[in-house]
Amino acid sequence: MSSINEIINDLNSLKTDISVYIPSIKSDKKTKTLTLKQQRELLDNLSETKLSLLSFFNDVFEIINTNCSEDNKVINVIDRPNILLSLRCNINKIYDGLDLEKILEKNKNISLPSLSKQVETEDFIFDISSPNIQRDNNVNLYLTNTYKNEEKILGKLYINELSKFINKITFKASDNVIDFDNESNGNRFKILENMQSSNFQEIYAFINDIRDKEVEYLTIDGTQVDLGPELFVL
């Protein structure tokens, strides 16, 4: 009789690849399909807490990291909806009455906005960009681990978004530069908390443009697919 390890090895040998369109690089990449264990981990995030969606995206990152052949520094957050739709479509092509294959085919023709930008305010120059999923995951982990027991979280979520999208801050008066890639998540939060809110208006507009584009990848004929653990409820 085969041991459990032998059985699992045999099962792993049967795993197949699917082709997924990655919008930010405008090409198809191979990814492994979901296992039931991975699907279960996504469904475990069905919760009413404000941090449950971040935990869901953290699990999505781990799945993409395991299943996808592409470097996670290449895969952008704007690619995530298409990857998730493709994984769900492989299980069942119909979700809540919507044909996921049609959405995925439609998505190949969506044009992307610029994923990076420089924003200038009275005192600062901000270099910003849509983050890759690795950075998104790192920032989300900081928030979920640091504030998991707190009820008042909405303001921290706003700072969390800024921390993902800002790469560098230049002080115009002195030319001093804060490179966010070299700062801890905690330091990023402290820096942003101590800046005037008026500096961030154009940055939030950029973030909203990226998030709106993510919604476009999830929408067909005016109906939007839910991007969360509900997507994997059959």
182-198: pLDDT as tens digits: 999 999 999 999 999 99
Which helix H or strand E contains 52, and what residues bound it? helix 52-67
* Same-domain status, 174 and 221: no
Residue 10 lies in a domain: no
**Beta strand extents in 61-188 (DSSP E only):** 94-95, 98-99, 116-120, 124-129, 166-171, 177-179
Gap between the Cα atoms of 76 and 12, Å rounded: 28
Which DSSP state fits 170? E
* Same-domain status, 143 and 220: no
Residue 223 lies in a domain: yes
* Same-domain status, 19 and 107: yes
* Same-domain status, 76 and 150: no
Residue 129 has pLDDT above 90, yes or no: yes
How confident is the model over 27-31, as a mean pLDDT?
A: 90
Residue-number span of the structural domain to which 219 is assigned: 15-112+214-232
Residue 58 lies in a domain: yes
Cβ-Cβ contacts under 8 Å for 178 (sequence gap 6 or more): 168, 169, 170, 191
* Same-domain status, 38 and 153: no
Tokens found for residue 11: 């099962």
pLDDT, averaged across the chain: 90
Residue 151 lies in a domain: yes
Residue 4 lies in a domain: no
- How much is the pLDDT for 7? 63
Residue 3 lies in a domain: no
* Same-domain status, 108 and 134: no
Residues 168-202, buried b or exposed e (16+ Cβ, 10 A)? bbbeeeeeeebebeeeebeebbebbeeeeeebbee
Residue 2 lies in a domain: no
How confident is the model over 190-211, as a mean pLDDT?
A: 96
Residue 14 has pLDDT above 60, yes or no: no
Within 68-132, where are the H helices?
A: 80-91, 100-107
* Same-domain status, 28 and 105: yes
| pTM of the predicted protein model | 0.89
CA 45 remoteness from chain centre? 15
Which DSSP state fits 151? S
Q: Would you say 178 and 123 are in contact if contact means Cβ atoms under 8 Å apart?
A: no
Confidence of residue 149 (pLDDT cuts 50, 70, 90): confident
* Same-domain status, 138 and 183: yes
Q: Number of structural domains, the chain?
A: 2
**Beta strand extents in the chain (DSSP E only):** 17-22, 27-32, 94-95, 98-99, 116-120, 124-129, 166-171, 177-179, 219-220, 223-224
Q: Which amino acid is at 50?
A: K
Q: Would you say 26 and 36 are in contact if contact means Cβ atoms under 8 Å apart?
A: no
* Same-domain status, 145 and 185: yes
Residue 22 lies in a domain: yes
